[in-house]
């Protein structure tokens, strides 16, 4: 198990040295919702994409639902603001869906949670399209600190970006580092950094019911 944890940490370090198109933070640990359980929240972040030569800000509410068998689905809709270094700035809308499957659930013998997640986000910016496909592997571990629960998480992610809004499509890989802070069983907040040659960071607030 120690070798597995070391390998995952090393992989995060390696992929963070490669170029990245870090469109969005995930704001999710490797733990999946129980069947029928729901979670809603709002996420905001700011990032830089040197390949496409722009900075961007995003804001979106989302809803997650536990499908059962350690599988959950998420839907989101929101806005994105693109600050170009050359040319006029743009504002667009976005919508997306994500699936997450928890491969390993924490037990006394296995002290971590492991999951895989993949999603698709479509944008309409200045009457042009921007498509974002992503896939990641996540590892997390929960700790009780006084009355709070803190769950750090991380892992590698690969993203493919294309569409008429950008000059050409590209595939990138980078590392995720984040943490979830649970104030109660239903209320929590999160912070995350996705890092490569490019980066994006953000925060979110969520309610589970």
Domain-wise residue ranges, the chain? 2-208
pLDDT at 2: 47
Angle 203-67-94 from CA coordinates, rounded to 5°: 40
Category of 136 on φ-ψ map: left (φ > 0), alpha (ψ -120 to 50) or beta: beta
Q: How many CB atoms lie within 10 A of CB 174?
A: 26
**Domain 2-208, classified CATH 3.30.70.3040, yes or no:** no
pLDDT at 22: 58
- The answer to whether 161 and 155 have CB atoms below 8 angstroms apart is no
- The answer to whether 123 and 92 have CB atoms below 8 angstroms apart is yes
* Helix and strand element counts for the chain (H, E): 1, 11
Let me know if 168 is exposed, middle or buried by CB neighbors in 10 A (0-12, 13-18, 19+): exposed
Residue closest to 114 by CA, chosen among 124, 135, 100: 100
pLDDT at 32: 95
- How far is it, in rounded angstroms, from Cα 110 to Cα 102? 13
Between strands 187-195 and 199-208, the pairing is antiparallel
- The answer to whether 155 and 177 have CB atoms below 8 angstroms apart is no
Ordered mean pLDDT values, 10 residues apiece, the chain (209 residues): 45 39 84 96 94 91 96 98 88 97 92 97 95 96 93 96 91 93 96 90 96
Between strands 38-49 and 54-68, the pairing is antiparallel
Q: How many CB atoms lie within 10 A of CB 207?
A: 13
């Amino acid at each position: 198990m120690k070798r597995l944890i070391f390998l995952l940490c090393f992989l995060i370090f390696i992929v963070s040295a490669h170029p990245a198109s870090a469109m969005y933070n995930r704001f999710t640990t490797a733990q999946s919702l129980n069947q029928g359980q729901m979670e809603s929240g709002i996420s905001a972040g700011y990032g830089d994409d040197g390949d496409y030569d722009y900075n961007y800000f995003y804001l979106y509410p989302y809803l997650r639902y536990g499908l059962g068998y350690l599988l959950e689905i998420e839907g989101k809709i929101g806005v994105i603001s693109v600050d170009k270094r050359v040319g006029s700035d743009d504002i667009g809308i976005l919508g997306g869906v994500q699936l997450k499957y928890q491969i390993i659930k924490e037990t006394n013998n296995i002290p971590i949670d492991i999951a895989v997640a993949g999603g698709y986000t479509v944008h309409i910016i200045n009457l042009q399209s921007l498509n974002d496909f992503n896939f990641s592997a996540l590892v997390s571990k929960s700790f009780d600190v006084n009355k709070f629960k803190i769950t750090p998480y991380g892992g590698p992610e690969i993203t493919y970006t294309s569409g008429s809004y950008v000059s050409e499509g590209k595939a990138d890989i980078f590392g995720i580092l984040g943490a979830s802070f649970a104030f109660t069983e239903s209320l929590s907040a999160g912070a995350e950094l996705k890092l490569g040659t490019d980066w994006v960071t953000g925060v979110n607030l969520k309610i589970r019911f």
